């Protein structure tokens, strides 16, 4: 399972500035809600992506806000880690105070302030030894790591600390394929299973 498969709705950003929405289960009126907010559907490796091209953070924020508002009427299982929809101190060129990055099942973070570092620590991040560098414990599973990042991002936001989350997805082509679905027809039992049942 990929990082983007852990919620009914996942909103993220590619490193090159696209905003994308992934629906991991059918949601009533979702296509209408997303296209009405300006997202364009595109088929990609077994899944439908809803896309906004790189644009200003203000425009992306407004479009994503309209989409989220509509989708929340049908599910609360929604994750929004899109950096493209965030504005930092009214200046889209400003650097965030915290950068969190998913890479090869490792989650790292940098913090520009002591307050940001303290909040990261409250969500399980530990210092790496390098100045202002932190990481989540490697034994944390993908789902728990995602939960820790969601909690940290929300906590930092409440304190007015800007955050950018990099998902490790460079371009749209790097978005993982849809997870394989179990076949509708169950596989016949193996000889060993039949023998165990007959005992």
| Composition of the chain by helix, strand, coil, percent to 5 | 35, 25, 45
* Mean pLDDT calculated for residue range 51-79: 92
How much is the pLDDT for 57? 83
Over the stretch 7-47, which tens digit does the pLDDT of each residue have? 999 999 999 999 999 999 999 999 999 999 999 999 999 99
Q: Match 């407004």 to its residue by tokens.
A: 62
**Which 8-state DSSP code applies to residue 174?**
G
Q: Is the pLDDT of residue 198 over 90?
A: no
The pLDDT score that the predictor gives to residue 182 is: 54
pTM of the predicted model as reported, rounded to 2 decimal places: 0.85
* Residue whose entry in the numeric block shows the structure tokens 């390098």: 130
Locate 179 and state its tokens: 């997870």
DSSP-based three-state secondary structure for 164:
strand
Query: How far, in Å, CA of 121 to CA of 92, rounded?
Result: 27
Residue where the block lists tokens 């909040």: 119
User: What value does the mean pLDDT of the chain take?
Assistant: 87
Q: Flag whether pLDDT at 197 surpasses 50.
A: no
Q: Average pLDDT of 94-122?
A: 93
Both tokens of 156, joined, read 């930092």
d(CA 62, CA 180): 33
Binned at pLDDT 50, 70 and 90, residue 129 comes out as confident
Confidence of residue 55 (pLDDT cuts 50, 70, 90): confident
Confidence of residue 130 (pLDDT cuts 50, 70, 90): confident
């Amino acid at each position: 399972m990929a990082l983007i498969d852990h919620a009914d709705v996942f909103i993220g950003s590619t490193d090159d500035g696209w905003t994308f929405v992934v629906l991991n289960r059918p949601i009533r009126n979702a296509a209408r809600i997303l296209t009405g907010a300006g997202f364009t559907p595109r088929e990609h490796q077994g899944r439908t992506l809803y896309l906004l091209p790189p644009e200003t953070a203000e425009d992306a924020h407004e479009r994503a806000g309209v989409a989220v508002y509509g989708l929340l009427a049908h599910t609360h299982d929604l994750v929004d880690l899109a950096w493209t929809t965030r504005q930092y101190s009214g200046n889209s060129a400003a650097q965030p105070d915290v950068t969190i990055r998913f890479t090869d099942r490792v989650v790292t973070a940098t913090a520009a302030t002591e307050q940001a570092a303290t909040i990261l620590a409250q969500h399980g991040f530990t210092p790496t030894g390098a100045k202002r560098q932190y990481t989540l414990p490697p034994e944390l599973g993908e789902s728990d790591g995602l939960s820790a990042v969601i909690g940290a991002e929300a906590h930092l936001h409440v304190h007015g600390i800007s955050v950018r989350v990099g998902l490790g997805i460079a371009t749209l082509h790097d978005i993982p394929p849809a997870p394989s679905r179990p076949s509708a027809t169950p596989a016949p039992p193996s000889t060993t299973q039949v023998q165990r049942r007959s005992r």
